[in-house]
């Protein structure tokens, strides 16, 4: 398989990849192959080969909302890092799926464009942010995305409008239909006061540093907040703040974060998540929804 993929000449290829280097949890096993397609044609060529040979595969952004198993991943990880085109025309931005969300938020803020401030602390790619409709501070991608260029399961390029993207809290059409791949997004922002925008971003960064364990590897909030309550409060109530399995630990700073304090295993993180879910369901009859995606 590796030799066949090399013959396709789709882009950079890495063998036996340590997934700890590609996820913000810094956990996971070894993946057989990682490919960085250089453009859409290369991606299509690679996916044709994958589909024709029924090969396990996964599109991966910045690895900021995902937990890879500790086991061997016998397939191909596709990274769209080369899809980093950007075009800014007044308040309209056309940007590739591999572009950094944080970088775009800071870039547009410096241009005096408002609307992306919420994303200045979300360490994902544009594609990943659209996939899960990333958000914070009562805003999300659904408020600013005009349209998304996707690759369909039939390997055709199509543009989906904001309405067709069906953005809702931490989900989208693509999340519900993962055979569609985000290639590029058109984003609409609004002109604002540059100094006020940068001041807001700076203030939020300071508050994040004070309230979140950003000094340790994690994947951000583990659970969605249930309606009218906070997941962190519930986790504290059941006595799980500071709870540790191996080097996986529920943060003392913010109970809705699980952190890697050394050499945590994905299985330990997953066990903590499962235990918290189970106890809160039993005690409060609340079914906490996990924000992160598990990949076996």
Q: Is 172 a catalytic residue?
A: no
Helix (H) or strand (E) holding 173: helix 173-176
Q: Which of 147, 172, 221, 266 is catalytic?
A: 221
Distance, in Å, from the CA atom of 84 to the CA atom of 101, rounded to the nearest integer, reads 11
Q: Which of 100, 125, 172, 291 is catalytic?
A: 291
Distance, in Å, from the CA atom of 162 to the CA atom of 174, rounded to the nearest integer, reads 12
Q: Is 291 a catalytic residue?
A: yes
Note whether 59 and 152 are within 8 A (CB): no
Q: Which of 69, 170, 224, 244 is catalytic?
A: 170
Note whether 71 and 19 are within 8 A (CB): no
Note whether 98 and 82 are within 8 A (CB): yes
Residue 2 to residues 8, 50, 232: CA-CA distances in angstroms?
10, 12, 44
Q: Where are the alpha helices (DSSP H) in 21-169?
A: 40-52, 101-110, 126-132, 162-165
Classify residue 275 by burial, with Cβ atoms within 10 Å: 0-12, 13-18, 19+: middle
Q: At what angle do helices 194-211 and 101-110 cross, to 10 degrees?
A: 140
Distance, in Å, from the CA atom of 160 to the CA atom of 46, rounded to the nearest integer, reads 23
Residues comprising the chain, all counted: 296
Q: Which residues are catalytic?
A: 170, 221, 291
């Amino acid at each position: 398989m590796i030799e066949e993929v090399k013959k396709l000449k789709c882009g950079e290829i890495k063998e036996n990849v340590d997934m700890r280097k590609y996820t913000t949890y810094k956990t996971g096993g070894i993946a057989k192959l990682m490919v960085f397609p250089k453009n859409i044609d290369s991606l299509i060529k690679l996916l044709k080969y994958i589909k024709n040979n029924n090969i396990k595969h996964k599109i991966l952004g910045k690895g900021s909302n995902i937990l890879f198993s500790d086991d061997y991943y016998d397939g191909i990880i596709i990274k769209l890092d080369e899809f980093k085109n950007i075009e800014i025309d007044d308040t309209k931005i056309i940007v590739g799926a591999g572009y950094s969300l944080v970088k775009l938020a800071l870039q547009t803020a410096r241009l005096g464009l408002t609307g992306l401030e919420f994303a200045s602390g979300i360490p994902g790619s544009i594609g990943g942010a659209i996939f899960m409709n990333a958000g914070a501070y009562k805003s999300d991608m659904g408020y600013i995305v005009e349209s998304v260029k996707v690759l369909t399961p039939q390997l055709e390029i199509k543009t989906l409008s904001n309405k067709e993207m069906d953005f809702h809290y931490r989900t989208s059409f693509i999340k519900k239909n993962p055979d569609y791949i985000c290639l590029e997004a058109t984003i609409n922002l609004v002109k604002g006061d540059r100094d006020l925008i940068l001041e807001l971003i700076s203030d939020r960064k300071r508050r994040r540093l004070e309230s979140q364990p950003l000094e340790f590897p994690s994947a951000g909030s583990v659970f969605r907040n249930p309606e009218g309550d906070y997941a962190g409060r519930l986790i504290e109530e059941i006595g799980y703040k500071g709870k540790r399995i191996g080097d996986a630990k529920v943060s003392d700073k913010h109970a809705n974060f699980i952190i890697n304090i050394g050499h945590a295993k994905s299985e330990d993180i997953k066990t903590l998540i499962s235990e918290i879910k189970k106890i809160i369901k039993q005690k409060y009859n609340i079914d906490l929804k996990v924000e992160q995606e598990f990949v076996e």
